[in-house]
C-alpha cells in the first residue's frame, strides 16, 4: 500500500522531536509537513542534531490547506490548539493528539482542570481516549485519538485490569510517581528556575495535578463508581522516565500471586507490557528509550497490602510511542512498526 502522509504540529518540543525520531523509521508513513510557530523556517535538526541526516521538510506555519495532502495529523501543541485544528478536519484526516485537548469527556471537567473553555465541544464525541493495550481496535471507529498523559499511562496500565476484575480495594489507593524533568517540556528550566533540577527531587501540584482528572475518569469507567486515590507527582533529577509506586489494599481472598498471575494473563499477548516475577525491583533504566512498560507486584509486611511498581519512558510509552502505537492500530499496521 502507499505510504500515509503525516503532518506534525509542534515538532520541536521534547515529545515532537521524539515522535519524528520514531516516524522516520516507520516504513508505512512519510512526514509531509512540520508546523510550528516560533520555529518557522528552521530545521528540526537545529533542535536535535541526530536528525541532521534525515530528509525532513522545513518548519512552516500551519495552514488548513495542508489537510488536503495528509491522512494523519499529530498534534504536540499547548492545550487548546488541537481543538482549533480539529474543526478543520476533512473526512480523510485522523487527528492524534498528544496533549490534553480530548482526554476529558465532559467540557465542564476540562474547564475545571485546564482553566479554559473547550473550543471544539462538537468533536468530543468523535474522539476516543486510547490507552492502546486497553482500547485496542476501538480506535478504528474514531477520527480523533487522544493519547493519555504520561503519568496516567504508568498508573492505568496496572490498575484498570485489577479494578475491572475487582481484585483490589478501590478505597485509599496511594500513587507516588516520579518523572524525569522532560515531562515538563522545554520550558522546564524557566518554570523551575529556582530549583536545581539536576540534583534535587521536587514534589509539585500536590493533591491537584491535572492528571487526577483522567485517572479518575478512566477508573470510574471500569468500576462505575468513584475510586478513592491520592496521586502525588515528583520531578526527579533525570531527563526521562517515570517510576510509579502504587499502594493497594486487598481482601483475604486475594493473594499477591493471584494479582500477578492475572496481570500476566491479561497482558500475555501485548508486546509492550512486561509483567515481572513477584517482588522484582525495577528502575526507569529498564525501559529508557523503549515503548515498554515494566510492572512488578511486590509484597509488604502487611498481608492485606500490595505495592505495584510501574516504569515507562515518559517521552515514548508515555507520549510519542503511544501515539505511533495508536496510529498502527487505527490503520492496521504491525503494532510494533516504528517502535522497535
How far is Cα of residue 295 from the mean position of the Cα atoms in its chain? 16
Taking Cα atoms as reference points, which of 236, 260, 100 lies closest to residue 177? 236
Question: What would the grid cell of residue 57 be?
Answer: 521538510
Round the CA-based radius of gyration of the chain to a whole number and report it. Answer: 20
Q: Does residue 298 have an active-site annotation?
A: no
Cα-flanking dihedrals φ and ψ of residue 104, to 5°? -100, 135
Instruction: Count, in order, helices (H) and strands (E) of the chain.
Output: 9, 14
Q: Which of 147, 150, 293, 298 is catalytic?
A: 150
Tell which residue, 210, 204, 203, 248, has the closest CA to residue 228: 248
Pull the grid cell for residue 155. 498508573
- Interior CA angle at 211 toward 206 and 217, to 5°? 125
Beta bridge partners of 306: 248, 299
- To which residue does cell 490503520 refer? 331
Task: Give Cα separations from 58 to 42, 45, 61, 290 (angstroms).
Answer: 6, 10, 10, 27
* Catalytic machinery residues: 150
Amino acid at each position: 500500500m502507499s505510504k500515509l502522509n503525516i503532518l506534525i504540529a509542534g515538532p520541536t518540543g521534547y515529545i515532537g522531536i521524539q515522535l519524528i525520531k520514531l516516524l522516520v523509521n516507520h516504513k508505512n508513513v512519510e512526514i509531509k509537513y512540520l508546523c510550528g510557530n516560533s520555529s518557522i523556517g528552521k530545521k528540526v535538526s537545529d533542535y536535535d542534531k541526530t536528525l541532521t541526516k534525515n530528509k525532513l521538510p522545513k518548519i512552516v506555519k500551519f495552514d488548513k490547506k495542508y489537510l488536503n495532502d495528509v491522512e494523519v495529523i499529530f498534534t504536540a501543541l499547548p492545550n487548546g490548539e488541537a481543538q482549533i485544528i480539529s474543526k478543520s478536519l476533512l473526512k480523510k484526516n485522523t487527528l492524534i493528539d498528544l496533549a490534553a485537548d480530548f482526554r476529558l469527556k465532559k467540557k465542564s471537567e476540562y474547564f475545571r482542570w485546564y482553566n479554559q473553555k473547550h473550543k471544539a465541544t462538537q468533536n468530543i464525541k468523535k474522539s476516543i481516549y486510547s490507552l492502546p493495550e486497553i482500547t485496542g481496535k476501538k480506535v478504528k471507529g474514531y477520527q480523533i485519538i487522544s493519547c493519555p498523559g504520561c503519568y496516567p499511562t504508568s498508573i492505568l496500565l496496572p490498575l484498570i485490569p485489577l479494578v475491572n476484575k475487582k481484585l483490589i480495594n478501590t478505597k485509599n489507593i496511594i500513587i507516588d510517581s516520579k518523572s524525569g524533568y522532560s515531562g515538563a517540556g522545554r520550558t522546564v528550566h524557566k518554570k523551575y528556575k529556582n530549583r536545581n533540577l539536576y540534583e534535587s527531587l521536587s514534589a509539585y501540584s500536590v493533591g491537584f495535578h491535572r492528571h487526577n482528572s483522567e485517572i479518575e475518569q478512566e477508573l470510574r469507567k471500569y468500576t462505575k463508581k468513584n475510586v478513592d486515590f491520592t496521586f502525588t507527582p515528583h520531578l526527579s533529577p533525570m531527563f526521562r522516565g517515570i517510576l510509579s509506586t502504587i499502594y493497594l489494599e486487598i481482601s483475604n481472598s486475594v493473594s499477591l500471586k493471584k494479582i500477578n498471575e492475572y496481570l500476566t494473563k491479561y497482558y500475555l499477548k501485548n508486546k509492550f507490557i512486561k509483567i515481572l516475577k513477584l517482588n522484582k525491583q525495577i528502575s526507569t533504566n529498564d525501559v529508557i528509550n523503549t515503548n515498554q512498560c515494566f510492572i512488578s507486584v511486590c509484597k509488604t509486611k502487611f498481608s492485606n497490602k500490595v505495592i505495584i511498581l510501574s516504569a515507562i519512558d515518559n517521552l515514548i510509552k508515555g507520549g510519542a510511542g503511544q501515539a505511533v502505537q495508536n496510529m498502527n492500530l487505527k490503520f492496521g499496521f504491525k503494532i510494533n512498526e516504528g517502535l522497535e
